[in-house]
């Protein structure tokens, strides 16, 4: 099967959607499929040499409590048309198709089987409330919908209509389960270690809650320390620590994929104190695959990954005192940590890419059965249609409503 994957966010900026598309493409190629990726990036030279096409640069826009990079315009539209024409895809799979991005452009311009995956989750989206009715005519062209969690599915159904099958994010479990620990750190040593991984200067990641909890932990657990990995402003982080916590916190900075796995294999407990805006929680699965007991805020998405507490400990979000009690108890009980690690490893197997990719392929085969025909770049001019432009199309500039000649 020839498959076109579309990532709306900048490929050279780390993020969950980017990793999802990258790993899905790699897994599908390993199964014998031909896969091409279309994505923006800051620089074309930052993309892999093969199988990834540059859609141009994108602009940072606040979205879902974070910063997303979106792209929309005549140059991008021309690149989309060229990619579709040259790709001869049996199915095109777009990610986050609603915001103004290359994914939405593909939905607008492509004719044929389209599958979409929805990643974002929130209680309600003001952006989608206003924008959803505008883009819904093009989203109705999508013939197979996937959501990475029940929470993401509910947001999509409420604002964009239609339904979606829930297929979680995937993880290369083996890459996290086996290998060396991070140099200088070892699980089970005399210095019990809590790990945090993420963009620590984003309020929704909840690091200040964990720091407040660690003030209690370092007082009650001799030698306890916190390892913080990820992007952010180191000066701002150190300003939050104070003299009581500074000696017990190590900032590792941004890690490579290999170092991330080694980091997760080294910590005694992995903690995710997030406050909002998480549609899935891929890092929880990665930590479980690496054998780390997981403590996480009781977000809906996290609770589902942790089977409502069977595969990890859930703590009321924002409650630093409760988090401190859980961490102190866990760091003091090797038996409890071993029990949680075993449960987590079993749970992580459900998210291995070998399993997840087969579920996604089943969606492809449903919308694009053998002999169904290839996806094409529609170039019809709505102004030539006696019925006039389709609902919502009349506001579009001509560069979008009509493909370039030839």
* pLDDT tens per residue, range 229-267: 999 999 989 888 988 899 999 999 999 999 999 999 999
- The pLDDT assigned to 163 comes to 87
Task: Look at residue 383 in the predicted model and tell me its pLDDT.
Answer: 40
Neighbours of 141 (CB within 10 A): 18
pLDDT at 340 over 90: yes
Top CATH class of 2-170+353-401 equals: alpha beta
Q: Note the pLDDT of residue 297.
A: 98
- Give the whole-number percent of the chain exceeding pLDDT 90: 67
pLDDT value of residue 405: 34
Instruction: Taking each helix axis as running N to C, give the angle between helix 102-109 and helix 74-87, from 0 to 180 degrees, rounded to the nearest 10.
Output: 60
CB burial of residue 229 (10 Å; 0-12, 13-18, 19+): buried
Q: Supply the pLDDT for residue 392.
A: 39
132 — pLDDT class (breaks 50, 70, 90): low
Enumerate the domain spans of the chain: 2-170+353-401, 174-349
Nearest to 20 by CA among 99, 145, 117: 117
Q: How far apart are CA 153 and CA 118, in angstroms?
A: 7
Mean pLDDT of 107-131: 77
155 vs 271, higher pLDDT: 271
What average pLDDT does the structure give for the chain?
87
pLDDT number for residue 51 = 97
Same fold, 2-170+353-401 and 174-349: yes
Lowest mean per-residue pLDDT among 45-49, 109-113, 153-157, 304-308: 153-157
Residue partners of 136: CB distance under 8 A and separation at least 6: 160, 161, 392
More confident: 308 or 63: 308
Render pLDDT for 50-94 as a digit per residue (tens, 0 to 9). Answer: 999 999 887 766 655 555 556 667 778 899 999 999 999 999 999
Homologous superfamily (CATH) of 174-349 is Glycogen Phosphorylase B; (3.40.50.2000)
Q: Which alpha helices (DSSP H) does 246-349 contain, by range?
A: 257-266, 282-289, 300-305, 320-331, 334-348
Residue 325 has pLDDT above 90, yes or no: yes
Rg (CA), the chain: 23
In which band, very low, low, confident or very high, does the pLDDT at 370 lie, cut at 50, 70 and 90?
confident
- Residue 386 pLDDT exceeds 90: no
Q: Is the pLDDT of residue 155 over 90?
A: no
Per-residue pLDDT tens over the stretch 161-176: 778 999 999 999 999 9
Q: What integer pLDDT is reported at residue 398 of this predicted model?
A: 55
For range 207-224, the mean pLDDT? 97
pLDDT tens sequence across 4-60: 999 999 998 888 899 999 999 999 999 999 999 999 998 899 999 899 999 988 776
Residues 276-297 pLDDT 10s? 878 788 999 999 999 999 999 9
In this prediction, residue 120 has a pLDDT band, given cuts at 50, 70 and 90, of confident
The pLDDT score that the predictor gives to residue 371 is 67
Q: What is the pLDDT of residue 404?
A: 36
93 touches 117 (CB < 8 A): yes
């Amino acid at each position: 099967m020839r498959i076109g994957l579309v990532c709306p966010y900048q490929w050279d900026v780390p993020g969950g959607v980017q990793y999802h598309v990258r790993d899905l493409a790699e897994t599908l190629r390993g199964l014998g499929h031909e896969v091409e990726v279309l994505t923006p990036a800051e620089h074309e030279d930052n993309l892999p040499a093969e199988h990834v096409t540059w859609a141009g640069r994108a602009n940072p826009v606040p979205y879902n409590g974070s910063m997303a990079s979106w792209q929309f315009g005549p140059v991008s539209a021309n690149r989309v048309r060229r990619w579709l024409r040259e790709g001869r895809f049996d199915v095109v799979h777009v990610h986050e198709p609603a915001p103004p991005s290359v994914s939405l452009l593909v939905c607008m311009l492509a004719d044929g089987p389209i599958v979409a995956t929805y990643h974002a989750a929130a209680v309600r989206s003001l952006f989608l409330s206003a924008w959803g009715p505008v883009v819904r005519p093009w989203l109705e062209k999508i013939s197979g919908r996937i959501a990475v969690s029940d929470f993401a599915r509910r947001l999509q159904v409420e604002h964009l209509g239609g339904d979606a099958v829930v297929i979680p994010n995937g993880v290369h479990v083996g890459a996290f389960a086996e290998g060396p620990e991070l140099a200088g750190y070892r699980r089970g040593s005399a210095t019990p270690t809590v790990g945090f991984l993420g963009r620590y200067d984003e309020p929704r990641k909840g690091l200040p809650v964990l720091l407040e909890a660690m003030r209690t932990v370092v007082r009650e657990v001799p030698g306890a320390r916190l390892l913080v990995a990820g992007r952010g402003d180191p000066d701002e982080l150190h300003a939050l620590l104070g003299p009581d916590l500074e000696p017990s916190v190590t900032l590792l900075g941004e890690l490579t994929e290999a170092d991330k796995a080694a980091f997760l294999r080294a910590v005694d407990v992995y903690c995710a104190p997030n406050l909002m805006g998480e549609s899935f929680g891929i890092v929880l699965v990665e930590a479980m695959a690496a054998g780390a007991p997981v403590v996480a805020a009781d977000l809906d998405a996290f609770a589902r990954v942790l089977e409502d507490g069977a595969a990890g400990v859930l703590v009321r979000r924002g409650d630093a005192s409760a988090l401190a009690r859980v961490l102190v108890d866990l760091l003091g009980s090797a038996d409890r940590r071993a029990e949680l690690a075993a449960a987590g490893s079993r749970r992580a197997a459900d998210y291995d890419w070998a399993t997840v990719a087969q579920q996604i392929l089943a969606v492809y085969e449903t919308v694009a059965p053998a002999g169904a025909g290839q996806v094409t770049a529609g170039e019809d001019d709505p102004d030539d249609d006696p019925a006039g432009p389709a609902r919502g199309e009349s506001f579009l500039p001509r560069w979008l409503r009509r493909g370039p000649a030839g």
